[in-house]
A and B are shown apart, each in its own frame.
Chain A
Amino acid sequence: MSGAGPAGEALFGLREMELNFGPQHPATHGVMRLKLKVDGERIVDCYPIIGYLHRGTEKLFELHPFFQNVPHTDRLDYVAAATNNLAYVGAVEKLVGLEVPPRARYIRVILAELQRISSHLVWLATHAIDIGAMTPFFYCFREREVILDLFEQYCGARLTLNCMRPGGQPYDLPQGWVDRCGEFVADFPAKVAEYEGLLTENRIWKRRTVGVGVLPPETAIAYGVTGPMLRGSGVAWDLRKAMPYEAYGEVEFDVPVYANGDTYDRYLVRMEEMRQSARIVRQCLERLPGGPIMAKRPRVLKAAAEAEVYHAVEGPKGELGFYIVGDGGPNPYRCHVRPTSFMNLQALPEMARGALISDLVALIGTVDIVLGEIDR
């Protein structure tokens, strides 16, 4: 199998095989293409090629007024629309100077944390099925379905939620929603235990993930990696704790950090995050304040000329930021997204070099990319 090194090349005319992994491949989670150089099954080099899903979203932002841009954000990280909304409306509110009423802030946190759970469920489902464990996929989607139902009852949509507005929330929580949501988050930790029962101590699972794709903390920081990937490398950095926004300063939760920086630790981080998210939602439901859900705001939002703002939130995958520049008109002059998956993807070739093709599949899973956000 091996022997395509310099000596093998000279002696037998052997060379590395070039393998196009994607854009249509079940494990690339969308339309990413990896150009691989492989020596047998060992990856010599890995070069991600992106752009198959480019839609010019950032340009589109310039063509619409501030509040009409919320639906565009839904389509960035399309398995976590609520957190995209949150990051964008947060940036606009900072830019225009709007004070969000407390009830709206709590509703936002509830939606964002439910979204984090559902995004992590999609990650776990696909990660597990990539490594060959079929069953967790269906378990995860069973719970995700409940979350999507909750979203549907709140705003009518299941994936592209469009559920936040600059200045507050478009709708109040419908009748009975708090109880249904409370029921779900009360049950959820038991469901996480169920997934963990299938995987966490499974010897094959451990052999496939422990020590695979080790990302030392310095490398992770150098690549701008954030979110569970950074926390799996032992860096305790979570925007919800570090610079609390919305109602995160008022709830209690832990930020799980594991030190080894391998695929298994990143798995553990995300599993614990799901539990913590459920905990946050439970607290928010208990303390949900009354009052208005929308701030007093002008009919047309206008940013001051040359006003600029960067606002970031802790999305399910890491730091998701919006950089918006105003020009005095109702549209953003320029809007740039700091896409979490794009930054995290940069660390993939680093982790993949020297690994096997089977590991690559685990690594793509552990980076947790969504191409809608990478290509924009």
Chain B
Amino acid sequence: MSWSWLDWLREAVGQPQFTLLFAPAAKFLVAIFAIFLLIAYLVFAERRLLGFLQVRLGPNRVGPWGLLQPIADILKLLVKEDTIPNRAVRWAYLLAPCLVVAPALVIFSVVPFGPSPTAPGAPRWYVTDLNAALVFVVALASLGIYGIILGGWASNNKFSLLGGLRSAAQMVSYEVPQGLALVGPLMLAGSLSLVGIVEGQARLGLWFAVPQIVAFFVYFVAGVAETNRNPFDLPEAESELVAGFHTEYSGVRFALFFLGEYANMIVISAIAVTVFLGGWLRPFPSVEALAFLDLVPGVAWFFLKVFAFLFLFIWFRGTFPRFRFDQLMDLGWKWLIPLSLANVLVTGLVVVLVDRGP
């Protein structure tokens, strides 16, 4: 494909504006649109998969195989009445859903979806390659919880409040191991940039999930807890708190919470794939005999791995009961944090001894 039209555009807009503003904005819009579509069909896939796991059919009436079901759902949510409880704290109530969605979407701006292209002038597979991307991701991921706490508090509903409180406790216990788990791969790659980390794995010829198996495990468990998914879906526990923090929300605002949850699932999966499973790299990147796997483009590998994670999320939901509040804290503080700390220590020692830093 020729990318000369891009050069023409670059001329027309002017060089600094193009690189700093126009190109990232355009890429971000494309990414967001793709993510929205992905989310819509992720919900659909979840319902069909759960149906399969639970000896029923799932939605199969709207369009062929029910494929138009997500569209119908979105339309329904958009035209529904947006109720605000009488004694809610209005500004916080209105702000909360946005606070959940926005950070999740912004994180996609630093995720590299594919390798740097070889064609001259072709756009790269990421919006921006931030040199402190990992810190950026951790910071934004923890912002999303504020929306949940705020939503739970502002609803002026006791069940929502309890949901918000649970969410706060969950954040405090699981942010820490999640951040610590990312330190291991960071030390191995010697870079905070997500692109740098994938390249580090290419250099090593090994996905970081292999040397960092503990960190990988801790990150994923903490990630499931962060996204409030089963078995850690305490803040919205249907049977205990009647949907918890979003009990009072309806229509578009409920849709935003919903969107946030699924966007977060994709974020956690995308970061896990990038940091631990070699991002766009094929399996066993150092084994020459498997070079034919490179025929599959990097983007496809990336999304294949992300889908595998998403399947895991859905599978969990079909299998596990829910943890209790105090047991969740136990798991976080007594297992995940010591494990991830030990992992940081051991990794640091090994890195110093072998001197595999840059």
Contact = CB atoms under 8 A, between A and B. Distances in A.
Contacts of A132: 230-231, 233, 237, 239, 320-323
Interface residues of A, number: 34
B90 interface: no
B56 interface: yes
Contacts of A300: none
A202 B233 CA distance: 17
B345 to A, nearest CB: 28
B239 A26 contact: yes
Contact of B320 (A139, A204, A357, A358): A204
A198 B321 CA distance: 10
A40 interface: yes
Given A204-B321, A208-B321, A134 B240 contact: no
A202 B321 contact: yes
A138 B54 contact: yes
B165 A1 contact: yes
A258 to B, nearest CB: 20
Interface string A172-207: 000000000000000000000000001100101101
Give the most central of B56, B165, B320: most A CB within 10 Å.
B320
Given A130-B239, A134-B50, A135-B53, A359 B324 contact: yes
Give the most central of B55, B241, B319, B321: most A CB within 10 Å.
B321
A138 B325 CA distance: 26
Contact of B322 (A26, A137, A204): A204
A129 interface: yes
A26 B239 CA distance: 6
A133 B239 contact: no
Contact of A135 (B169, B240, B318): B318
A204 B321 CA distance: 6
Interface string B233-261: 11001111110000000000000000000
B326 A134 contact: no
Nearest to B324: A358
Contacts of B53: 135
Interface string B321-336: 1111111000000000
A133 B320 contact: yes
Interface string B193-225: 000000000000000000000000000000000
A369 interface: no
A26 B320 contact: no
A131 interface: yes
A41 interface: yes
A198 B242 contact: no
Contacts of A19: 158-159
Contacts of B318: 134-135
B162 interface: yes
Nearest to B317: A134
Nearest to B319: A135
A357 B239 contact: no
Contact of B56 (A25, A129, A131, A138): A138
Nearest to A364: B239
Contacts of B56: 138
Contact of A204 (B162, B166, B323): B323
Contact of A208 (B169, B230, B241, B324): B324
Contact of B325 (A27, A41, A135, A202): A41
Interface in A203-217: 204-205, 207-208
Contacts of B325: 41, 356-358
A142 B231 CA distance: 24
A27 B320 CA distance: 18
Contacts of B165: 1, 40-41
A272 B114 CA distance: 55
Give the most central of A20, A135, A198: most B CB within 10 Å.
A135
B319 A358 contact: no
Give the most central of A40, A356, A357: most B CB within 10 Å.
A357
A40 B325 CA distance: 11
A202 B320 CA distance: 8
Nearest to A365: B239
Given A134-B317, A361-B239, A204 B231 contact: yes
B209 to A, nearest CB: 24
Interface string A39-61: 01100000000000000000000
A137 B51 CA distance: 12
A17 B323 contact: no
Give the most central of A1, A27, A134, A202: most B CB within 10 Å.
A134
A171 B231 CA distance: 49
A371 B231 CA distance: 30
A358 B54 contact: no
Contacts of A134: 50, 54, 230, 317-318
Given A199-B321, A356-B324, 5 more contacts: A27-B239, A132-B233, A135-B319, A208-B322, A358-B324
State the 4 A-B residue pairs at the shortest beta-carbon distance, nearest first: A132-B322, A138-B54, A133-B321, A130-B239
